[in-house]
Amino acid sequence: MVTVQDGEAVELRGNRDHPFTRGSLCVKVNRYLEHTKAADRILYPMKRVGPKGSGQFERISWDEALATCAARLTEIIDEHGGEAIWPYQGTGTLGYIQGETGEAGRRFWNVLGASQHDLNICSRAGRDGLRFTNGTAAGMDPETFALSRLILLWGTNTLTSGHHLWKFIQDARAAGAHVVAIDPIRTRTAEQADEHLPIRPGTDGALALGLLHVVLEEGAEDRDYLENHTLGWDEFKAEILKYPPSRVAELTGLPEADIRSLGVRLAHTRPTGIRATMGLQRHRGGGSAMRLIACIPGVTGDWRYPGGGVAYSTSPYVPLAVDPREDLLPRPVRTLTMTRLADELDESVKCLWVYAANPMGSTPDQNRIRQRLLREDLFTVVMEQFPTDTVDYADIVLPATMQTEHIDLHSGYGHMYLLWNEPAVEPPGECLSTTETFRRLARTMGLTEPSLYDSDLELAEQLLSRTSAINLDQIRKDGWARFDVATPFVPFTEGFPTPSGRLEFTSDKAAAAGHSRVATYVPSRTASEPSTRLTLITPASHTFLNTIFANNPELLRRSKDPTVLVNPGDAATRGLTTGQPARVFNAHGELTAKVEITDKVRPGVAAITKGRWLKLSPDGANPNALIEEADADMAKGPLYHDNWVEIAPANSITTAAHDS
């Protein structure tokens, strides 16, 4: 809710009438209006005048910017073909009109025959794992956590990355619910939970099997549900029996007594709700871990109840999409993978067009990406709001609008509502929305395909034509509308969207994709071998949203200096003391961070929050300098939480364990 006076946005607050947010905003968004008016906001098109990476630009007109881009794109297509263009779109904007959810700009790129972009950076491994079990990544209505009597917050820091859910958890606790945080770090959320299990990173699948082993010991499996609503129970039961709590304790680093205690509680508490989010699946076995966690309510029968099941993402409940018009492609084209930028940004790519993304700050293998972006033969265009680290490598920079300045339609992936975003104020300077930028560029290039010029309201109408439950005029008036589901909502009452129509403990689709037919444990890389090195975890910052807001002076001040959390035992063997600068390093790179010795991280783990801009860091690096460009077991998910590192005092010189 934005208050406007004399054409200026002067106040921002949450909508108190909204059933999910109830009027609250997070620490980041509370400062959003201040952010839109920041002194470093990019307001005009610019062209590079210094070396690549220097961030030296001069202002130019939109006419010159568009003409330059049009000429270079045409030249590249003529000489190398459209596939030499990589449209690198990120999740900085998740709107159905301006952002990734609606694949903004896709029609334009299809007309040019550009390479397809595989946007795999966030949640793909877990999504695929859930699909093999449930047929979809959709699950619980998060509001029904208020009805849960046991809540497992599995690999998710709710109070930092989705705090609206906490109100429903509090409602559940008031009614007697028990809340358990399963996380290698004692996060803000873990500190507020009734119980914290500091699991070894990448062993979540083993814990899921161990808990189910106890459920079987207790004779608490829901036999009616298993018989009538699941597939492959006998095979999966045999898999569960391979993981008694004693074995799982060795794998996870958790006390056997704690595993048994939670297993007994799980066996006898209905409904149990599990919240598992994206951080959980950012390791080699991430997809398999989510597949196993999704099996738990199939064994316990929790899908029967409001407040039972698993919540990962609600996005699949919204069957909306702008037609990307694949028919506009002149021929089949290759697909380039977002988190493989260092590998795939080779000489075959002549134009990198970045929007709603900051790959220098957010993508694995930072140092190799920097070398790729320095190529003089690479024409790089960045559509941005602020001078990010990626902007520094651009040839042309195009100023982009922010949330209060453009039309958009959103669905949060953590609630059950579609949201209308009406512009509150005119864009400052010469900023343009994503859609308007592509309309103008198409016109400059003389493209005649009519769909390239659809207005934002026309795009919204096309989106909402996919559902009869939500009307454009009504949602513009109300600001939001609940998805077309019951209240309270219990999913899968009419069956699962799997080939069998049942929850699948065994999956022929998984087998066909090269995975185990039966859901099973796949360890992370660092959990699969003993080592004296430390597993690096790169959790979300409380003050930044990935790299968004990381240039806000107040939020930057609150974030303090880059810090690495180290367990006391690991610190002692390395001669580390609290407050000293230390080198965190491996074969891919290194960074400097202040040491904080704390039992908030379990032994064998080092934790550094993600999101810091390189140019605002002491040594021009953030944790992605240490992240290998490698894939999870499913959907090429990135491995942000599955890398070995070593730590040494900053003034020391050592090559010990300087490997990946």
Extents of the domains making up the chain: 38-121+332-482, 140-311, 528-649
pLDDT for res 654: 52
Return the structure tokens found at 172. Answer: 């559940």
Q: Which CATH class is domain 528-649?
A: mainly beta
Cα–Cα dist 178/194, whole Å = 6
Cα–Cα dist 350/71, whole Å = 13
pLDDT for res 468: 80
pTM of the entire structure? 0.97
DSSP tag of 16? T
Fold of 38-121+332-482: Rossmann fold (3.40.50)
Q: Which residues of the chain have pLDDT under 50?
A: 655-660
pLDDT for res 412: 82
pLDDT for res 653: 60
Cβ neighbours of residue 145 under 8 Å, at least 6 residues apart?
Answer: 151, 165, 168, 169, 172, 273, 275, 307, 311
Cα–Cα dist 544/29, whole Å = 10
Spatial CA neighbour of 310 closest among 286, 293, 328: 293
Cα 285 to its chain centre, rounded Å, is 17
Cα–Cα dist 123/608, whole Å = 20
Q: What is the pLDDT of residues 593-647, one digit of tens each?
A: 999 999 999 999 999 999 999 999 999 999 999 999 999 999 999 999 999 999 9
Cα–Cα dist 362/613, whole Å = 9
Tell me the backbone φ, ψ of residue 150, rounded to 5 degrees. -135, 130
Domain 140-311 in CATH 1.10.260.40? The answer is no
Strands lying side by side in the sheet with 195-197: 195-197, 178-182, 150-154, 272-276, 309-311
